Structures are given as C-alpha cells and as structure tokens.
Structure 1
Amino acid sequence: MRQGINIQVNIRIQFYIQVQIFLYIFQQNQQHNKQLICYLLFQIKNNNNLFIFYLIKGELNNQGQKHGKGKLWYQNGDRYEGGWLNDKKHGQGKQYFKNGELFIGIWQQGQRFGYGQYFFSNNERYTGNWLNDMRHGEGTMWYNNNTKYIGTYYKNKKIWQWQIYRLLWLGKRIILGPWKITRTKKIKKRL
C-alpha cells in the first residue's frame, strides 16, 4: 500500500455568491484528523455591498468546522490565534484587533471566559476574570495615569469595594500610595 500525503481541494458555492476553498492534507487516505492548510471564504452580495473575506489556517472536524488549533484572519484586519471547538473560539487564545488592542486568555463557546488580559490601544490594561465576553469577578485595571484599581466586576461594571493605588515618581524612587477604599453601587441578588 502506498503511503504519503494526498492533497484535496474542495470548492463549494453557497447562498448569494459565496465561495469556499479548502485545502486538506490526509495521511494514508484517512479522512479523520484532517488538517486545514488554507481556507478562504469570499461572500459577495451586490445589492447591499456586502463583501466578506476570511483566511483560516488550522484544523477541522468531520463536519468541516474549525476544531483544534488554528488561526483566523478577518476582513477588517482583526486576527485570532488559538483553540477552536465546533467552529467557536474555545480554550486558550489570542485576539488581535486592528486598532492595536489585544486579548490573551480563555474562550468558551466563542466568548471570553475565565482568566484573561485585555490590552487597550491607549496603554491601559485589564487583568482578571471574564464571563460571557464581559469583565466579571475579580480584576485589576491599570490606567495610563499610573492608577491601578483592584476589585470586583459584575457584567463589565465595578461593584463592591475597590482598592486604588497611585504610583508617585519622586526622583529615582517610586512610591506606591496613598490607597483608598471606595464604595460603588451594590447589586442585590434577587431570589
């Protein structure tokens, strides 16, 4: 039996004008464990001027969905590198945004979940927990005016008590302080 690498190209045309080009590598003619070398999706709709372009490099499951490790380049200049599960971002990953922002962390079912870091284009950053694509739980926010907030988020909003740290530059020394505890709106849980 001849062993080696077989290359297969599939082209599908769907919906208005949507062209998908797949380039697979199969080991020993077995279709499972296929690795997607390149995936291009062009979607053109004339009336609404809809032009969508994706470039993907990674792995697919048997249904042709992104699954495993891979990279996705979006038409708008954003890029994702990391884990996939049934066509959704899942596990450890990095999302690079065209405006210079970056998220490094954990994804679940296509949304930021668990621990992650978000770096803003203005040099501010958030490090902490995420739930359903929102800052949720314990977190730390660093602002570009040398202020650091440590506290709790609920659906992207600061709640409970926050510790505020401000770095003061005195000659060659850095002094951390003074810090204060502030109170923000409490959210009551309804039973």
Structure 2
Amino acid sequence: MVSLIVAGEIGFWVVLSAGLLARYGLRRRRTGAVLLALLPVVDLVILGATVADLRGGATADWTHGLAAAYVGFSVAYGRRLVRWADGHAAHRLAGGPKPAGMPKYGAARARYEWGVCGLTLLAAVVTVALIGAVQWLVGDGARTAGLDSWYPRMGVAVAVNLVVAASYTLFPKRERPRPRA
C-alpha cells in the first residue's frame, strides 16, 4: 500500500506538471484543463485500491489509513495547491505577475492561519468519513480495527492547527520597524 500511495503522490505531481506545462509552456489551454481535471482520478485510484485490498481479505494496517488521509488532505488542500502551482507556472512560463505569498503579519496572517485550520478540519472530516465508509464496506470489524487509530490522529492534526491559528490571533506577529537612514 505504501508504494501505491507514493506512486499516487508522484502521479499527482506528474499530472499537475503536465497540465501546467501544456497550459503555459505549450499554450494548449484546453489540453492543460483536461489534464488538471484528471487530478481527482489519482485519488480515486488510491481509494479504490485500498477498498479492493481490504475486500480481498487483507487486514487493515496504518497504510490503509494513510491512503484515506492522503485522499482527505488532497480533497481539502488540492484546489489551493493547484491555484498556487498555476500562479507560479503562469509567472515563470507565461510572464504573468509574481504570485503573492502568504501574509506575514497581523490580522491578515491570523485570517490565513484560520483558513489553513479550516482546510485541515475538512481534511480530517473527509478522512474520518472515508475510514468509516471503508470499515462499513468491508464489514469485518476485526480486519479493519487497524484503521481506528486514525480517528485520534486526525484530532491531533486539527488540534495543532487550532493552536497555531489561535496563537497568530492572540499574539499577532508584527513587522519590525525599519531603521532610519
């Protein structure tokens, strides 16, 4: 399963790169759009292979949960990642404007961190839902018990993001004053 997840991650970046290269490097916008639209297929392949492996008699272990977490985080963060990569490709390959980075200070940074926290919460909800669905589809609690450890892991991921977002809200980072010349 780990090799499938690694292959899926590599496949994601290959499809993303091909789509952006077609869109900006080769000026084939429609081809690029089609390739970018194929990105969710990578997630479906990973999820389908996980379910097939478990339905075929495998006992769930951490790798099956990792596959669900990969899909969950891909669903939550995928659009943002594609937008980020698209902005950089447009800048480097098509002379577009340089993409703005994340805010560094104050309320803008706090809003940014709360947005990341929301995406992590979405990723955790999708992961937990996928794990529950896989456990239900397999129907053998003894073979899928190894997936139960992913429930608290997703809680920890959300809790860490909550602490980070709250820290930027309660203790906003301020820009240092520049020395006068």
- Normalising by the smaller structure, the TM-score range is under 0.3
Q: Which has the higher contact order (CA 8 A, sep 6+)?
A: 2
The structure where strand makes up a greater share of residues is 1
Q: Which has the larger radius of gyration?
A: 1
TM-score between both structures, scaled by the size of structure 2: 0.22
